[in-house]
Amino acid sequence: MSKDKTSQNILLQVKELQIEGFSDEKWHKIIKGVDLTLFKGEVLGIIGESGAGKSTLGLAAMGYTQPGCRITGGQILFNGENLARLSESKKRKYWGNRMTYVAQSAAASFNPAHRLINQTTDSTVRAGLKNRNDAFKEARKLYEALNLPDPHNIGNRYPHQVSGGQLQRIMTAMAMSPNPDLIVFDEPTTALDVTTQVEVLGAMRSIVEEFNTAAIYITHDLSVVAQMADRIKVLRYGEQVEEAETRVMLESPKEEYTKSLWSVRSLQKKEEVEEDIVLEMKSISAAYGAARVLFDVGIKLPRGRTVAVVGESGSGKSTAARVITGLLPPSEGSVMFSGESLPAELKNRTREQLQKIQMIYQMADVAMNPRQTVREIIGRPLEFYLGMKGELNRSRTIELLELIDLDESFIDRLPSELSGGQKQRICIARALAANPEVIICDEVTSALDQIVQEGILQLLMRLQKEFQISYLFITHDISTVKAISDQVVVMSEGKVVEQGLKSIVFSPPHPDYTQLLLSSVPEMDPDWLTNILKKRS
Amino acid sequence: MHSIVKTILERLGLGVLTLFAVSIIIFSAIEMLPGDFGEAILGQRATPETVAAFRRQLGLDQHPFVRYIQWVLGAIQGDLGTSFSGRNASGVDRSREVVGLIAPRLWNTMFLASMTAIIAVPISLALGITTALFRNSVFDRSVNTATLTTISFPEFFVAYILILLMASLYPVFPSLANVDADTLIGERVYRTALPALTLTLVIVAHMMRMTRAAIINLLASPYIQMARLSGASQLEIIIKHALPNAWAPIATVIAFNLAYLVVGVVVVEVVFVYPGIGQLMVDAVRTRDIPVVQGCALIFAVTYILLNLIADIIGIITNPRLLHPK
Amino acid sequence: MTEKPNTYSALSEVGAIRENRTIFANIKISLLKSPLTARFGMVVILIYAVVAIFAPLIAPYGEAEVFPIPYAPWSSEFIFGTDQIGRDIFSRMVYGARNTVGIAVATTLLAFLIGGSLGLAAAINRSYLDLVFSRTVDVLMAIPQLIFALVLLSIFGSTVINLIMIIAILDSTRVFRLTRAVSLNVVVMDYVEAARLRGEGLGWVMRKEILPNILPPLIAEFGLRFCFVFLSIAALSFLGVGIQPPTADWGSMVRENASLIQFAKYDLKAGITPLLPAAAIALLTVAVNFVVDWFLHKTSGIRDE
C-alpha cells in the first residue's frame, strides 16, 4: 500500500487554515491554523475528541463550512484552485463530482421523498459523467460490491424502508458513484452497533481500495481509524497534535496527549469472587404494552462487586434497569434485595428500599435539573434520606465533592457551568449521598471523551473499594466491560445469552452471539479488520 | 396504499366527530338562555299567551334531545329556523327565515375572502420562501420587522389607516363597500378593494412569518446539507429537495390562515359596512337574535373545520412514509 | 495543586463552560446586549404602566365628564378634542389605558391560571384526565375563537365580568396546550425520573423539578397571549359587544368617533382622532411583541445563522 509521495501526486493541500464559529454572541476559533496534505489514493484518518474540530476540518477540506462558521485565514488547494476563496457556484462543480461526502447519520441525510437509486446517482447524472441508465447500472454494481442484499432492487426503495447499516452503505455507494478523487467520511459508523459496524467498515475499505480513491476518515475511535487509514492526524482544540503513518503512530506515539489516548485501553480490573448476593433478578419477564422485551432474565449481583451487562441496542439491558428500579413492573418474576423481595412498583417501595439502590444516567446533562445548583442537587438526597439540614448538609456536601475530586468552589454552580466529566461526577456524588448499597450505572461513560471516561471509571472503582458498593454496569462497550467488571452478563433480544466471571465469559468457547459480539469489537491492530473478514468469509 | 386510506378515513372520522361536538355546543346556546328571554324579545307588554305561543313555536316544550335531532336534520337540509327579530308583543310575526338572511350575505363574504386569498397566498408564499433563503439579509430583517409590526395591529386600525389614506385624503377607493346582488363583477371588485386590501395586509404578515419558519426548519435538515455537498444548485435544492417535503407544512400554514381570514372578515365587514355574514352575526349578537347567531356560527365553524381537515389530508397524502409503507 | 500539561484532572477539566454569574449580573448583561427593538418595547410598556396606574393624576378631566361641545377640535383646553357627546378624548384615552389594559391583563392571568394548572396536571397525570382535557380542548379549538366569543356573549350578555370569563376560558385552551407540551418535554427528562426514583412526592416534583424549567416559555407565551387577548377584547369592543359605555375603552372609542375620518380632508387633526386609540392599542402590542421576540430568541438558545 505504499503511495507515491511526490509533489505531483498531491491531491489536496490545506495550509494554515483558520475557521471561526459563532456562538454565545461571539466568534470563537474552531480551527487554529492547521496544515493538511493528502496524496492521491491515500486514506488520511483524523481523530480527536469532541470539540477538537475534526468534522469542521473534514468539511473544510471540501471548501464547505457549516452555517454559522466562516473561514478567516489559510488556503485549501485542490486542483490548483484555492477553495477558501471560491464562490459556492464554482465549488459546486467539484462537489458531488470530484469530491463527495459520507455523513454520520445516513437516516437523516437521505431525502425521505426520493428513491435511493435516484439519490445515489443524482450527482453523477447532474455532472454529466454518465447518462441515467449507465449510472443506474453502475450504482447496482456498487450495491453488489458493498454486499447489500438484493442489489438489483434495493435502490427502488425509499430511505425509511431499509435499515441503518444498509443506508450507510448506500451512502457510500452514493459517494462512489461519480468516481471521485476524494471522499470525506464523517464518523460514518458511530451510530451503528458493533456487529453491523464490521460489515460496513469492510465494505467501505474494499471499495475505496478498488477505485484507488483518496479519503479523509474522521472518527473519535482509534481502533476504527487504525483499520481504515494509511496515515493518522491527531487533533485537539483545533490544533494538530501530531501526524504519522498508521503503524508508526500506533506503535510509538510521540506526544503526551496521544500517549494518554492510547493508554486508556490498558485500564483493567482484576476480577474478584464474592458469594454474598446483594441484588438478584429472578426469572424476570417484562413488556411495554404488547411488546415483550425481557424473557426470563436472571441476573445476580454480588456485594461489593461489579456486574457488567453488555448488549447492542434493543437487547433489553436498559429495560432490566427499569425493572430493578420499579419504573417498569415485571409481568413475571421478582427482584430480590438482600434476600427480600422488593415490591414490583416504585410507589410501593419504602424510602429505605429506595435509598439502597441509586442510579446514574448516561447523559449527565439531562440527569440534573438545569435550574438547581450543585448544593441543591447533592444536598437533596442528604436531606431526604438522612434528614441532614443547614450547616451539616453543607459540610457533608463539601465532603462528597472532595470524594469525587472536586472542591468547595463548585458548590454554587449550575450544571451549565460544569464540563461533561464534572457533570457526571456530580451525578455520582448525588448517588453516593444516599449511602447506597447498589448503584445502577446506565452507559455512564459512553457520552464522554476517552480520557474523561478513564477518570470516571477509576473514581467508580475507588469508591467501590472504599464503601463496598455494588455496581450493575450497563454498557455496549466491551473495553469498558474489560476495564471494570468482575462478572459479565451478555444480553441479546431480551434474553441472557451468557453470564459468569469475566475471565470465563471472555475466554472461548463462546456461544454464537458472544462470539459475534466479541469478534466485532475493533482492535488497535491495523490488520484486525483484514483478519476478521478473512476468518468470516 | 392501504395504510394511507386508513389514516385518511381516521382523520375524516375525527372531523365528523368534531363537527358533532361543535354542533352540540352551538345548539345548546338556546338552552342556556335565561327563562324570561321570551319577554325580553317580545317586549314588556307581551301577554303570557303570546309568550307561550312563541315558546311552542321554538319547540321549547319538547325534549332537548328531540329538538337537537330536528335542528341538525333541518340544518343539513338548509333550514336554520327563523329569526327572533320582527316579532312583537301583540303576536304579530314578521320574522324571516335565517337561511334567507344568510344566503346572499354568505356569497358576499365568500367573494371577499376568495379575493383576499387569491392576492395574499402567492404573495406570502413568495415572501416567506425568499426571506427564508436570504435569512438575516437586510431584506429579511426589514420584512420581519414590518410583519411583526403588522400582526400587532388590530384589523380595524389597518382598515382606518387605509380609509384615511385611500378614501378620505386621496379618494381612490370608496370607504363604504356597499354591494348587492345586482352589482357587476368589475364594480364589485372596485368597491371591495379596501376591505380586501386590509385583510391581505393582515394575512400576509401572518402567513409569511409562518412560511418562513417552516422553510427554515426544513432547510436545517441534514439531507439539505447533503444535497448542497453533492453539488445541487440553490434552485435545485428548493425544487427537488425541499419542496416535496414542504407540502404538509405549507398546507397547514395556508389552512390556518384561511381559517383566520374567515374570522378576520367579521371586523373588516363591520368597518366597511360590507353586507356579509360577519356583520349579520355581529348585529344578531347585539340584538341577541340567537337563531341567526347559531346559523352564522355553524357556517364559520364548519368552514374552519373543513379547512383544517383538508390541510391534514394534504399532509397525509404527501408524506413519503405513508405513501410508500415498508 | 501541581499540574502537568496533558494529564487529566477533574478540577481543571474544561469544556463548553459558562461563567458563574449571579442572576442580576446575567440580567444586566442581557439588557446591555438587547436589540433596539426590545429596548423600545420595554420603554413603551413602562410608560403604559405608569399611565394606567396614575390615570386620575394624569387625566385633566373625569372619565365620563360631559362638556357641552361635542366634536370639539384639538385645542389647549381639549388636547385631542371631544367626542360625539362632548367628553374629553385625551382623558378617556388615559383612563382607557387603565380599563382596556387592566381588563386584558386580568383576562390573561385568569387564562394562565386555568390553562396552566390543567396543562401541568394533564402532563403529569397522563391518564384519563389528560385524555378528557385534551379532547375537550380539541373541540373548543375547532370553533374560531372570535365566533365562539360572539355566541357566548349573545347568550350571557356583554358585561365586563362575562367578557373576562369568556375570553379567559377560550384562551386558556391555548395555554393548556402549550403548558402540556412543554411539561411533557420536561417530564421525560432523566432528572425528573431521578426525583421519582428518590421517592419524592408529586407536589415536590411539580414545584421544584418541572415548574422552574417550563417558566421561560410560559413567560414568553404570556406576552403573546396578552397581545391576543388584548386584540380580541379591542375587536369585541369595537364591534360594540365588548366593554360597554360609559367605561372609557380604546376599542369602543374608535367605533364612536369613526365618522370623523371623512373630515380628514378639511381638518387632518379631526380626521386622525379616531385613529389615536387604535394606535394606542397597536403601539402596546408592537412593544410587547418586540420584547417577547427578543426573549424567545434568547431563551430558546436557537440562534439564527
Q: Which residues of chain A are within 8 Å of residue C189 when distances are taken between CB atoms?
A: 366
- Residues A331, A294 contacting (CB under 8 angstroms): no
Which residue positions in chain A have pLDDT lower than 70? 1-4, 24-25, 263-266
Specify which residues B10 forms β-bridges with: none
Dmax over Cα atoms in chain B, in whole Å? 85
Per-position DSSP letters for chain C, written without gaps between them: ----TTS--TTT--SSPPP---HHHHHHHHHHH--HHHHHHHHHHHHHHHHHHTHHHH-SS-TT-B-S-TTPPS-SSSTT-B-TTSBBHHHHHHHHIIIIIHHHHHHHHHHHHHHHHHHHHHHHH-SHHHHHHHHHHHHHHTS-HHHHHHHHHHHH---HHHHHHHHHHHHHHHHHHHHHHHHHHHHTSHHHHHHHHHT--HHHIIIIIIHHHHHHHHHHHHHHHHHHHHHHHHHHHHTTSSSPTTS--HHHHHHHHGGGGGGGGT-HHHHHTTHHHHHHHHHHHHHHHHHHHHHHHHHH-----
Residue C73: asked if its preceding bond is cis (omega within 30°), the reply is no
Contact by Cβ (8 Å): A17, A84: yes
Say whether B320 and A112 touch across the interface (CB within 8 A): yes
Chain B adjacent subunits, 3+ CB pairs under 8 A: A, C
Residues A337/A354, Cβ–Cβ less than 8 Å: no
Q: Does B8 reside within a domain?
A: no
Fold category of A277-367+436-506 in CATH: Rossmann fold (3.40.50)
> Do the domain assignments include residue B45?
no
User: What does the pLDDT read at residue A4?
Assistant: 64
Q: How far apart are CA C249 and CA C239, in angstroms?
A: 12
C contacts of A346 (beta carbons < 8 Å) = 196-197
Helix axes C145-156, B247-271, angle to 10 degrees: 40
Is B266 contained in some domain? Answer: yes
Facing A96 at nearest CB: one of B231, B320, B324: B231
Q: Which domains, and CATH codes, for chain C?
A: 46-299 (1.10.3720.10)
Q: How far apart are CA B316 and CA B4, in angstroms?
A: 7
Residue B226 vs residue A51, higher pLDDT = B226
DSSP for A166-189 reads: HHHHHHHHHHHTT--SEEEEESTT
Top residue of C36, C150, C166, C231 to mutate, by most chain B CBs within 10 Å, is: C150
**Measured in Å, how far apart are chain A's first and last C-alpha atoms?**
23
Would you state the cell numbers that stand for residue B128, as one nine-digit string?
A: 416567506
C-alpha cell at C86: 362632548
- The dihedrals phi and psi of C217, each to the nearest 5 degrees, come to -65, -30
For range B93-104, the mean pLDDT: 80
Distance in angstroms (rounded) separating the CA atoms of residues A395 and A400 = 9
Q: What is the pLDDT of residue B35?
A: 60
The three-state secondary structure class of B178 is: coil
pLDDT at site C1: 32
Q: Do the chains contact at C18 and A416, CB–CB below 8 Å?
A: yes
CB contact under 8 A, A95 and B231: yes
- Nearest CA distance, B204 vs chain A (angstrom): 28
Nearest to A311 by CA among A458, A528, A459, A520: A520
The SS3 of residue A326 is coil
Other Cβ atoms less than 10 A from the Cβ of C81: the count is 24
**Cross-chain residue pair C274–B160, CB shorter than 8 Å:** yes
A125-to-A136, A507, B236 alpha-carbon distances in Å: 10, 52, 14
Q: Would you say residue C302 has pLDDT above 50?
A: no
Query: Which chain A residues contact residue C5 at CB under 8 A?
Result: 256
Who has greater pLDDT, C206 or A398?
A398
Q: Specify the pLDDT at position A170.
A: 93
Boundaries of CATH 3.40.50.300 in chain A? 7-266, 277-367+436-506
pLDDT of residue A273: 84
Instruction: With a cut of 60, say whether residue C168 has pLDDT above it.
Output: yes
Kindly state the cell numbers that stand for A301: 449481583
Domain containing residue B104: CATH number: 1.10.3720.10
Would B156 be classed as within a structural domain? yes
Contact yes or no for C290 and B148 at CB 8 A: yes
- Pairwise CA distance, residues B67 & B59, whole Å: 7
Predicted complex ipTM exceeds 0.90: no
Which of A372, A417, A452 comes nearest C13 by C-beta?
A452
Predicted local confidence at residue B183, as pLDDT: 75
What phi and psi, each to the nearest 5 degrees, are found at residue B222? -55, -30
Determine which helix (DSSP H) or strand (DSSP E) holds B204, and give its type and residue range.
helix B193-219
With CB atoms and an 8 Å threshold, state whether A95 touches B241: no
Residue B293 lies in a domain: no
The span from the CA of A198 to the CA of A201, in Å, is: 5
B229 interface with A at CB cutoff 8 Å:
yes
**Measured between alpha carbons, how far is C194 from B119 in angstroms, rounded to an integer?**
55
Please name the residues between 250 and 269 in chain B that touch chain C, using a CB distance below 8 Å.
259, 262-263, 266-267
Joined together, the cell numbers standing for residue B173 give 377607493
Helix (H, G, I), strand (E, B) or coil at A266: helix
pTM of the predicted model as reported, rounded to 2 decimal places: 0.81
Give the whole-angstrom CA distance, residue B273 versus residue B174: 11
At C23, is the pLDDT very low, low, confident or very high (cuts 50, 70, 90)?
low
Q: How high is the pLDDT of residue B34?
A: 66
Q: Does A185 touch chain B (CB under 8 A)?
A: no
pLDDT in the model for residue B256: 84
Question: For the segment C24-66, what is each residue's pLDDT rounded down to a tens digit?
Answer: 776 777 777 778 888 999 999 999 999 999 988 888 888 878 8
The predicted pLDDT at position C16 comes to 47
Q: Does B297 touch chain C (CB under 8 A)?
A: yes
Q: What are phi and psi of B181, to 5 degrees?
A: -60, -25
- ∠ Cα C212 C215 C220 (to 5°): 160
Cβ of A111 within 8 Å of Cβ of B230? The answer is: no
Quote the mean pLDDT of chain B.
Answer: 84
**What one-character-per-residue DSSP string does A410-425 give?**
GTT--GGGS-HHHHHH
CB A527 within 8 A of CB A520: no
Confidence of residue B36 (pLDDT cuts 50, 70, 90): low
Interface test with C, best of A261, A362, A369 (most C CBs within 10 A): A369
Partners of C300 on chain A (C-beta within 8 Å) are none
- Half-sphere CA count of B118, side-chain side, radius 13 A: 9
Q: Using pLDDT thresholds of 50, 70 and 90, give the confidence band for residue C2.
A: very low
In B, residues 153-212, which contact C (CB 8 Å cutoff)? 153-157, 160-161, 163-164, 168-169, 175
Cell of B229: 455537498
Q: What is the mean pLDDT of residues B84-94?
A: 65
B134 in A contact zone (CB under 8 Å): no
Instruction: Determine if residue A272 is left, alpha or beta; phi over 0 gives left, psi from -120 to 50 gives alpha, anything else beta.
Output: beta
Nearest CA in chain A to C30: A25
CB A33 within 8 A of CB A18: yes
Does A421 touch chain C if contact means CB atoms closer than 8 Å? yes
The single-letter DSSP state of residue A343 is: P
B15 found inside a domain: no
Which pLDDT value is given to residue B29?
Answer: 76
User: Nearest CB to B222: which of A64, A109, A157?
Assistant: A109
State the total domains in chain B: 1
Q: Using the 8-state DSSP alphabet, how is residue A328 labeled?
A: S
State pLDDT tens for residues A75-126: 999 988 899 888 888 899 899 999 999 998 888 899 998 999 999 999 999 9
Instruction: Give the CATH class of A7-266.
Output: alpha beta
Query: What is the tens place of the pLDDT at every residue in A326-348?
Result: 999 999 999 999 989 999 998 89
b/e code B154-183 from CB counts within 10 Å (16+ = b): bbbbbbbbbbbebbbeeeebbbebebeeeb
One-letter amino acid at A101 equals: Y
CA A327 to chain centre: 27
Give the Cα separation of A387 and A355 in Å (integer).
13
CB contact under 8 A, B232 and A126: yes
Domain interval for residue B203: 100-285
Q: What percent of chain B is modeled with pLDDT above 90? A: 12
